[in-house]
Amino acid sequence: MQYLFTAKQAKQLDEHAIQEVGFPGAVLMEKAATVLSSVIEQSIRKDEGILFVCGCGNNGGDAVAAARILKQQGYYTAIVLVGETSRMSEDLFLQLRLAAACDVEAVTAAEVDSAEYPILVDGLFGVGLNRPVEGVYQAMIEQMNRSQKRIFAIDIPSGIHGDTGKVLGTAVKAETTVTFGVNKLGLVLYPGCQYAGNVVIGDIGYPDCSYEAIENPAYYYDKRDLEHCLPERRPDGHKGTFGHVLVIGGSKNMCGAAVFAAKAAYRMGAGLVKVLSAKENRQTILTMLPEALVDSYEEEEALAEGLAFADVIVLGPGLGTGEDAKKIIAYVLENSDKSIVLDGDGITMCSREQLQKTKTPWILTPHPKEFCTISGWTMAELKEEFLQKVKQFAEEQGGIVVGKDARTCVSDGNECYVNISGNSGMATGGSGDVLAGTIGGLVAQGMSCFEAAKAAVYLHGLAGDRYKEKYGEHGMMARDLIDSLQKIHQNGE
């Protein structure tokens, strides 16, 4: 897993390295500037002028130091200082003195538009910005964006909130962002990720003990974590070894959601999948998925047998919102001793009180509207701090929450996982049902609910990305995700 720090955590990392370990701030700044210079060098021609747009804090100091380093390596660099120089940081003051000694030219803001400098470097604000961008800073950012030049941002594009990714009035639209030590939440959450461009994480020498001093950072998975998301297959295993999934879903003549969930559970490697649906759906389900066991949920005896059969229950896909669905959900929550994945109508027809009384582990998979329904929050409240709301609800209710959005967030009330796989092509009917079945398939094979939820979200998004690479985002369907899941298993990539 790869860490995602808040602005406060990034500051704590810096302070620990300086105050506890003894790294001089100027040394860290020099390392940051060296990393930044290296990234720029690899991306431009030597005859292209580079203008460093510098604020009066340490972000500006990084920029000035990089301008000096590149100047000494034969590049044509210049700096423009923006803001109140009376509030200049000590490290920036030192870097300006060194830059002047190395003949780095200081120019006016008008040079941002000059053809002499096709490359701009944004060193106005760092990750700590938490107020609207105004005045000369707003004017400079808008001027930079209008220039249509290539822009490299230092640590985070100026104007992006380091914790939420929100635009604080206006923000630099970067081609590349070079961030230091660890990735930042504001660089992966929307809309911040759209302003960051390609994100390069530069190692500037923070010691391990400084990282370890940070409590409960959020994190994400990438390709390096893939092998941990795929359960091992025992060579001596049988269908009982790999677990039983019970899918309860599908109202009368509407069984597609239940079939998607069941297929996904099989594709993730579950040994057996049973579907309880409306009796009218039996033949359709058997035709679409002959591998499944199928029965009706309309008899309590069948429900009881289903609960006894299952290692995990996927409850709610396409179940409906009538009284019968409400009774089924209540019965399962009250009588099951197996882990439950609550999805779709299972969330809509469930209450917080029922969740709190449920004795078995549960996973909730709401999209924003469903999340508002069960939590009581308004959409504005939810969107304001989505990650924190996911964590808060999981902590208060005592389960796992998979908050589905453009950046799906998963929390057990303590840790927070932010998913960076997936794309807009997955915003299609049935996609959530596939995710619910994927989670169920992993839990059935012995993964804990939290580990299964994180792995499933990552694999689900990766399946969408694999499809996009081959066919594009337009026209993606839920069945395509299921097929792609199989290929990820098959190829391990």
What does the alpha-carbon distance between residue 221 and residue 293 come to, in Å, rounded to a whole number?
34
pLDDT for position 234: 78
Torsion on CA atoms 315, 320, 323, 324, rounded to nearest 10: -60
* Residue 443 binned pLDDT confidence (cut-offs 50, 70, 90): very high
Q: What are phi and psi of 454, to 5 degrees?
A: -65, -45
Alpha-carbon torsion 421, 424, 425, 428, what sign? Answer: positive
pLDDT surpassing 70 at residue 15: yes
pLDDT for position 89: 87
Is the backbone peptide bond immediately before 207 cis, with ω within 30 degrees of 0?
no
pLDDT for position 86: 83
What does the alpha-carbon distance between residue 297 and residue 250 come to, in Å, rounded to a whole number?
10
Q: pLDDT tens digit string along 335-351? A: 999 999 999 999 999 99
Question: Which residue type sits at 319?
Answer: L
pLDDT for position 490: 67
* Lowest model confidence (mean pLDDT) among 51-65, 120-134, 236-250: 236-250
- What is the average per-residue pLDDT within 353-377? 96
* Residue 60 binned pLDDT confidence (cut-offs 50, 70, 90): very high
Q: pLDDT tens digit string along 396-417? A: 999 999 999 999 999 999 999 9
- What is the average per-residue pLDDT within 84-103? 92
Average pLDDT of every residue of the chain: 95
Q: pLDDT tens digit string along 252-281? A: 989 999 999 999 999 999 999 999 999 999
Q: In this structure, are residues 248 and 222 in contact, taking their beta carbons and an 8 Å threshold? A: no
pLDDT for position 227: 85
323 class by beta-carbon count within 10 Å (0-12 exposed, 13-18 middle, 19+ buried)? exposed
Question: Which residue type sits at 352?
Answer: R
- What is the average per-residue pLDDT within 132-141? 97
- Cα 60 from chain centre: 29
- What is the average per-residue pLDDT within 19-45? 96
Residue 123's closest CA among 3, 17, 29? 29
pTM: 0.94
pLDDT for position 269: 94
pLDDT surpassing 80 at residue 302: yes
Enumerate domains of the chain plus CATH numbers.
2-218 (3.40.50.10260), 225-491 (3.40.1190.20)
Q: Please state, as a whole number, how many other Cβ atoms lie within 10 Å of the Cβ of residue 191.
A: 15
Q: What are phi and psi of 347, to 5 degrees?
A: -80, -45
pLDDT for position 493: 57
415-436 per-residue burial string, b: 16 or more CB within 10 A, e: under 16: bbbbbbbbbebbebebbbbbbb
pLDDT for position 487: 87
pLDDT for position 492: 59
- First and final CA of the chain: distance in angstroms? 16
Alpha-carbon torsion 280, 285, 290, 291, what sign? Answer: negative
Q: What percent of the chain has pLDDT over 90?
A: 92
Q: pLDDT tens digit string along 160-206? A: 999 999 999 999 999 999 999 999 999 999 999 999 999 999 999 99
